Amino acid sequence: MTINTETAQLLKRVAAVFRVKEGDTFRYKAYINASVAIDNLSEPLVEVWKRGGLDSVPGIGENLAAYLNEYFSTGKVKHFNSLFKKVPSGMFPLMTIRGIGPITAYKIAKKFHLNEEKTAISDLKEILIKGELNKIKSFKEKTVQKIQKALNIQSFGKTRLPLYEALPIASEFIDYLIKSKYILAAEPLGSLRRKLETVGDIDFGICSSTPKKAMDYALTYSKISSVITKGGMVSHIKLINGLEADLKISLPNSWGSMLQHYTGSKLHNIHLRTITKEKGLSLSEYGITKKEKLNHFTSETKFYQFLGMDYIPPEIRENGGEIELAQSHKLPRLIELTDIKGDLHIHSDYDFESSHDLGVSSLSEIFAVAEQKKYQYVGFTDHNPKFLGLTENQKNKIILDRKKYLEAQFHAYEKRVKHRVIKLLIGMEVDIRTDGTIALSEKSLSLLDYAIVSIHSSFGLTQEENTKRIIQALSHKKAKILGHPTGRTINSREPISANWAEIFDFCAKNKKIIEINAYPTRLDLPSDLIKQAVQKGVRFVINTDSHEDSQMENMKYGVWQARRGYAEKKDIVNTFSFENLRSVLEL
Ligand code: DGT
Ligand code: CA
Ligand code: CA
Ligand code: ZN
């Protein structure tokens, strides 16, 4: 930012405070005018100041010139700072959004306690996604839509909404639905129930013996912005955050068929229909018609049983061979959240010159969550120390100091707990560099229990180069785990190109572990690659990559992802006992 833009921005903020706190439109306009004049100045204002020419700038009067003098000589203006204290700081970044003026920004920041400049915009996005901006009574729907558009909440409309954003919206609606005495059960169906990484719309199944009353109740949900079509059994609505939803009601006797029919996927259903048609059966959301008789199903298990199949978990209903496996009773026993015994990718709050972001939670905080989850082990893997600018000795000292820091807290925990102690592993997440070398020496690696090697830069290399650098990185003895393998982030970064078959073969042969990163914007590996790797006998670890304790809750996303890739408990090393894990990590 140039000094002129910076000063212009400062005055704009001052103007905003005059506007919202003092109702002083005169000074508001004066400061805005000065701000615009400074922004348009061709010479750096500080130069003008140095030669004593501030009062020659149009819009800068005597008072302001004095404040600017203070600003350029001391770096701050006491009076401005006292003005800023009157408003929540989060309002300022909001003012940079098209369509948001000082008053709107102030109302939002005040209502939602946005006191941090840094997080205000992302907080606002979250508020919009949750559809909560209309909590501000004076906001019209148009205002909300305008802000949404300016912020490009693309999740709605063109791009598909990530699962982690859709899930809370759906749960809130479900909570509302099941409160009604007319509704016996309610479930999100479609892609959300299949735990796809992103969803197009949300489909809700509602079980009721009084459909009209249930539908009337559902349609009075406060977060519906419009009812697009209303029918007795099916309605199509738009929620206030712009997301669309289908509501489908079923009578209790066909609830199983309804769940099955609207869970999809389309391809799964089409394949089912094709093979059952040959047997003279016809499928619908009401049941299965055989010899002109409609058979009802209260549960999906009964539905699939009727067709001679085992129950197929929603996560694999993608027409990827699951129907044949269900017919021959050979479906995998998919991994479950309760199988997880630990988390091996957690960033601690140890403060050092790190190559990437530090975590914010202490070992004690992480262990408190691990205790609740009945974990048996936790592995800390902070990013490696900065590659450049530190000597080998400095890096090793960091690694040893960090170890001491973590162990001290661990011993305090051990003392407190005494029995059923969660085991501590101290590893590190190490950059895979462009040339395939990794960002730690063999000596540094030897100070660790294990290393996760990950790509954090040069995502655009060729397939050959990426394959080579990954295999080379995994060739170090301590490099046991390949972190977030493809580097993709949902709706924002494409996966790297690599020869995954070759990498999986290497991993299977050399007992290297592939991470399924549960961080909800990553979900990396993608499920089709998990499926390929499972077939090659590769082992995985499901890690949350938590940078704070609350993110340890994301484990479920990783488990769903693993399930979508047909992974079983035996394929996932963090379902193993600590003893078995130790032998896998060669500790
Ligand atoms: P999405 O919304 O694009 O993420 O994907 P889905 O799988 O949720 O698809 P959606 O919302 O179009 O439909 C939900 C499920 O309903 C779908 O997976 C298959 C099932 N289905 C069965 N019959 C039909 C039909 O006639 N039309 C539609 N749209 N879906 C049907
Ligand atoms: Ca859907
Ligand atoms: Ca739908
Ligand atoms: Zn990473």
Prior bond of 265 cis (ω within 30°): yes
Protein residue with its CA nearest to atom 1 in ligand 1: 200
* Bridge partners, 385 (sequence order): 354
Is the residue at 243 inside a domain?
yes
Q: List CB contacts of 321: < 8 A, sequence separation 6 or more.
A: none
Ligand 1 atom having least distance to the Cα of 266: 19
Q: How many CB atoms sit inside 10 A of residue 184's CB?
A: 17
**256-293: per-residue pLDDT in tens?**
999 999 999 999 999 999 999 999 999 999 999 999 99
Residues 226, 131, single domain; the answer is no
Taking residues 122-150, what's their average pLDDT?
82
- 332 lies in a domain? no
CA diameter of the chain? 97
The answer on 308 and 190 residing in a single domain is no
Question: Which ligand is the nearest neighbour of the Cα of 261?
Answer: 1
Distance CA 72, CA 74 (A): 6
**Is 474:510 a contact under the CB 8 Å cutoff?**
yes
Same domain, 375 and 488: yes
Same structural domain for residues 354 and 309? Answer: no
Contacts of 214 (CB under 8 A, 6+ apart): 180, 182, 183, 206, 208, 249
Angstrom distance (rounded) from CA 309 to CA 307 = 6
Q: Which bound ligand lies closest to the C-alpha atom of 263?
A: 1
Ligand nearest to the CA of 381: 4
| Mutation to probe ligand 1, out of 235, 247, 266, 282 (largest number of atoms < 8 A from CB) | 266
Domain annotation covers residue 334: no
Q: Of 11-15, 93-97, 427-431, which one has max mean pLDDT?
A: 427-431
Identify the bridge partners of residue 288 per DSSP, sorted by sequence position.
Answer: 283, 295
CA of 289 to the centre of ligand 3 (A): 24
| Ligand whose nearest atom lies closest to the CA of 264 | 1
Q: Which atom of ligand 1 is nearest to the CA of 192?
A: 8
pLDDT score for 156: 41
pLDDT at 419: 80
Instruction: Please report whether residue 518 resides in a domain.
Output: yes
pLDDT at 44 over 70: yes
Asked whether residue 16 is assigned to any structural domain, the reply reads yes
Ligand 2 geometric centre to CA of 237 (Å): 12
Cα separation, 197 vs 194, whole angstroms: 9
Question: Residues 143, 93: one domain?
Answer: yes
Q: 152, 181, 215: which is the final residue of a domain?
A: 152
- CA 195 to ligand 4 center in whole angstroms: 23
Of 107, 131, 152, the last residue of a domain is 152
Amino acid 466 reads: N
Q: What is the CATH number of the domain that holds 80?
A: 1.10.150.110
Q: Taking Cα atoms as reference points, which of 452, 279, 196 lies closest to residue 288?
A: 279
Share of the chain above pLDDT 90, in %: 80
Q: Where are the alpha helices (DSSP H) in 363-391?
A: 363-372
DSSP 368: H
pLDDT, one tens digit per residue, over 312-356 is 999 999 999 999 999 999 999 999 999 999 999 999 999 999 999
Domain finish residue from 194, 223, 250: 250
What are the angstrom distances between the C-alpha of 359 and each of 68, 349, 367, 545, 546?
Answer: 39, 5, 14, 10, 8
Which tokens go with 563? Answer: 């399930």
Helices and strands of the chain, counted as H and E runs: 24, 17
Burial tier of 222 (Cβ tally within 10 Å: 0-12, 13-18, 19+): exposed
Residue 202 CA to ligand 1 center (angstroms) comes to 9
The pocket around ligand 1, CB under 6 angstroms, is made up of 190-191, 196, 199-201, 203, 261-262, 264-266, 269
391 and 459 together in one domain:
yes
CA of 278 to the centre of ligand 3 (A): 28
Contacts of 164 (CB under 8 A, 6+ apart): 520, 521, 554, 557
In a domain, 532, yes or no: yes
Pair 461, 517 in one domain: yes
Predicted confidence band of residue 155 (pLDDT cuts 50, 70, 90): very low
CATH number at 558 reads 3.20.20.140
Give the model's confidence band at 152: pLDDT under 50 very low, under 70 low, under 90 confident, else very high. Answer: low
Q: Which residue, 378, 408, 380, 390, is CA-closest to 352?
A: 390
Instruction: In whole angstroms, give the CA distance from residue 18 to residue 302.
Output: 68
Same domain, 490 and 405: yes
Residue 264 CA to ligand 2 centre (angstroms): 9
Alpha-carbon gap, residue 210 to 217, rounded angstroms: 11
Q: Give the CATH number for residue 172.
A: 3.30.460.10
For tokens 């001491």, what's the residue?
404
Phi, psi angles (nearest 5°) of residue 101: -95, 180
The DSSP element (H or E) to which 173 belongs, if any, is helix 163-177
pLDDT, tens digit (0-9, with 9 covering 90-100), for 548-576? 999 999 999 999 999 999 999 999 999 99
Q: Tell me if 257 is assigned to some domain.
A: no
The string of pLDDT tens digits covering residues 227-262 is: 999 999 999 999 988 889 999 999 999 999 999 999
Question: Could you tell me if residue 442 is inside a domain?
Answer: yes
Average pLDDT rounded to a whole number, residues 475-485:
98
Cis peptide bond upstream of 525, omega within 30: yes
| CA of residue 452 to ligand 4 center, whole Å | 9
- 25-39 and 62-74 helices cross at what angle (nearest 10)? 60
419 burial type by CB count under 10 A (0-12 exposed, 13-18 middle, 19+ buried) = exposed
- Rounded to whole angstroms, the Cα distance separating 421 from 375 reads 10
User: Mean pLDDT in the chain?
Assistant: 94
Residue 345 CA, ligand 4 centroid: distance in Å? 9
For residue 262, the ligand 1 atom closest to its alpha carbon is: 16
Residue of minimum CA distance from atom 9 in ligand 1 = 190
Do both 489 and 398 map to the same domain? yes
CA of 203, closest atom in ligand 1: 11
When pLDDT is averaged across residues 382-406 and rounded to a whole number, the result is 96
What CATH code is carried by the domain that includes residue 309?
3.30.210.10
pLDDT-based confidence at residue 547 (cuts at 50, 70, 90): very high
Atom of ligand 1 nearest to the CA of 201: 2
Task: Write out pLDDT tens, residues 321-330.
Answer: 999 999 999 9
Instruction: Tell me the average pLDDT across 78-89.
Output: 93
Q: Is 512 helix (H, G, I), strand (E, B) or coil?
A: coil
Do 323 and 382 lie in one domain? The reply is no
Residues belonging to the chain? 587
First to last CA, the chain: 51
Cα 445 to Cα 23: distance, rounded to the nearest angstrom: 62
Question: pLDDT at residue 157 above 50?
Answer: no
Together in a domain, 401 and 305: no
- CA 502 to each of CA 32, 532, 576: distance values in angstroms, whole numbers, following the listed order: 61, 11, 26
Closest to 239 measured CA to CA, from 374, 353, 120, 141: 141
Provide the domain count of the chain.
4
- Rounded CA gap, 110 and 90, in Å? 9
* Ligand whose nearest atom lies closest to the CA of 455: 4
Which string of DSSP letters, residue by residue, matches 513-537? Answer: EEEEE--TTT-BS-HHHHHHHHHTT
Domain that includes residue 137, residue range: 3-152
What was the pLDDT predicted at 538?
98
- 308 — pLDDT class (breaks 50, 70, 90): very high
The atom number, within ligand 1, closest to the CA of 265 reads 18
Write out pLDDT tens, residues 136-146: 888 887 788 78
Q: Are residues 319 and 350 in the same domain?
A: no
